[in-house]
Amino acid sequence: MSSDKRMSSDTLEEIIALEGYIDGRRLNLAIASQMGIPQVDLKVQALDPSVAKQIPESIARRYTVFPIAVKDKNITIAVHDPRDIRAVDDVRLATGKRVSVVLSDQADILNLINRFYDHSEEATQAVDEYTADLDQDVKEFGESEDISASPVVRLVNTIITQASKMEASDIHMEPFENDVRIRYRIDGELREIMRVNKVMFNSMAIRIKVIGGMDISERRKPQDGRVETSVDGKPYDLRLSILPTVFGEKIVLRLLDRSSTLMTKEELGFSKTNIERFNQIISVPEGIILLTGPTGSGKTTTLYAVLAELNAISKNIITVEDPVEYRLDGVNQVQVNNLAGLTFTTGLRSILRQDPDIVMVGEIRDTETAQIAFRAAITGHVVLSTLHTNDTVSSLTRLIDMEVPAYLVSTAVVGIVAQRLVKRLCRYCRRSGKTTEAEMELLGITEPAVIYHAVGCNECGQTGYRGRTAIHEVLVMNRQIRDLIAKNTPIDEVKDAAVADGMHTLHQSCAELVLEGRTTLEQLLRVTQTEDE
């Protein structure tokens, strides 16, 4: 043992940890046990959100502590270092209460700090500063020398930063008669985060227009913009949309994390059966492959996974997208620009003169695009695209409604994948139970089984769910299905033929996840309702 290490350590415990005989977490557990400090698992500990406000966020972050209970003149805090006397003293001074300590995992404490403290202190301070200086010219926010110091800029930055930390996909800023509601879309659902003074919102809208390259003087027309930025070191593309409403301009910001890696088919949630059928589809040398589902169902993510797998030095792959959400090395990606006349249709026409092997069209929106895509598919190209329909077979009627001849649909389409996103159960708080007869009928089983239900804990924000996974319905075109389509057979008969050929419906795919304990019957019912529509 070196003398300089002894000199720098005041206690035997620190020397033991420094020499590597024990890691810091185990050392803290041993010390807490010696001191009689109880341990608490914050993943399952019930917490009142209002308790977090007992300690200023600055103190919670400085010492990595979190309040878990308050009773009369006593407060209990979770700490990761039982020897940190300064943390206890500062909490006592800040709250005026007697402090009790429990030991918890440092990562769990940090997670709670990020979840429960929504930068409200900074947001409130920004609003107060703005209110005290209403005479400030809001047009200067785009030109100020110290722009980061302005309250409006700090509030907008705070909203975006918190959305990033909460893994939100969208930010909604909605003006009403008396105030403005700020909501985040997390795991597919909108959650209200805060309310903002309406007087301040006009300046916030100007700031967002400035960073998005939009016209700050225009308030009567919808506008779109984009900006590349970074949040806590992570690069993001922000897609900005402004829509005039009765009470002001509604603003939606979509957050696209450019640091996120592409997912494989296995990571996308394909079951063993569906992945075999999907591989059969994407191995074809020519034809059109469609992904279908509502907005926000993960269609584009699946398309990128396919492109990444097909990407090879021997293939000329060109895409036309709106927007380009991921950048793929070796793939020629074209961004739609409607103002410049570069639409899906014009872009697709130009792509076909570029000697492509594989073409990806972000979305088939109109008859002209559909017809060009199908002509490309029957002339030796692989075409990937998306449609907005409920399931696989309804995509066939949608194409025919878009004036693509039935014989061309039956000839060119090699496969269709319908996709939905369902919430994943939180693995920390899910509760098991035996199926009832009604539940067995929903799941299509004849023997009782164990399934899981959502409960809610601190790890999942009391929702019972954490993250999402995809379910799929994979239609592989065979001779029988092609003949039925060419004869304009009713769509129900086409679906029956597809199921007989081995296609698992969205309902069946979700039922499999329920039986595996990965999602709930509530999510299954949501998918079933969508199918029934």
3-state secondary structure of 386: strand
- Dihedral angle, C-alpha 96, 102, 105, 109, nearest 10 °: -20
Does pLDDT of 1 surpass 50? Answer: no
The pLDDT tens digits of the residues spanning 201-250 come to: 888 899 999 989 899 988 899 998 888 888 877 888 888 999 999 999 99
140 pLDDT band (50/70/90 cuts)? very low
Q: Is 386 left (phi over 0), alpha (psi -120 to 50) or beta?
A: beta
Does pLDDT of 119 surpass 60? Answer: no
The pLDDT tens digits of the residues spanning 359-417 come to: 999 889 889 889 999 999 998 899 999 998 989 999 999 999 999 999 999 999 999 99
Q: What is the average pLDDT across 438-450?
A: 92
The pLDDT tens digits of the residues spanning 37-54 come to: 888 888 777 676 667 778
Position with higher pLDDT, 373 vs 57:
373
Q: Is the dihedral of CA 382, 387, 390, 396 positive or negative?
A: negative
pLDDT for position 103:
85
9 pLDDT band (50/70/90 cuts)? very low
* 133 phi/psi in degrees, rounded to 5: -140, 55
Q: What is the average pLDDT across 277-287?
A: 92
Does pLDDT of 34 surpass 60? Answer: yes
pLDDT for position 258:
73
Position with higher pLDDT, 322 vs 481:
481
Window from 145-154, 206-215, 303-312 with minimum mean pLDDT = 145-154
pLDDT for position 188:
84
* Selection from 297, 312, 474, 307 nearest residue 384 by Cα: 307
pLDDT for position 289:
95
447 pLDDT band (50/70/90 cuts)? very high
pLDDT for position 192:
85
Does pLDDT of 144 surpass 50? Answer: no
Query: DSSP readout, 147-190?
Result: GGGSHHHHHHHHHHHHHHHTT-SEEEEEE-SSEEEEEEEETTEE
pLDDT for position 120:
52
The pLDDT tens digits of the residues spanning 499-518 come to: 999 999 999 999 999 999 99
Does pLDDT of 332 surpass 90? Answer: yes
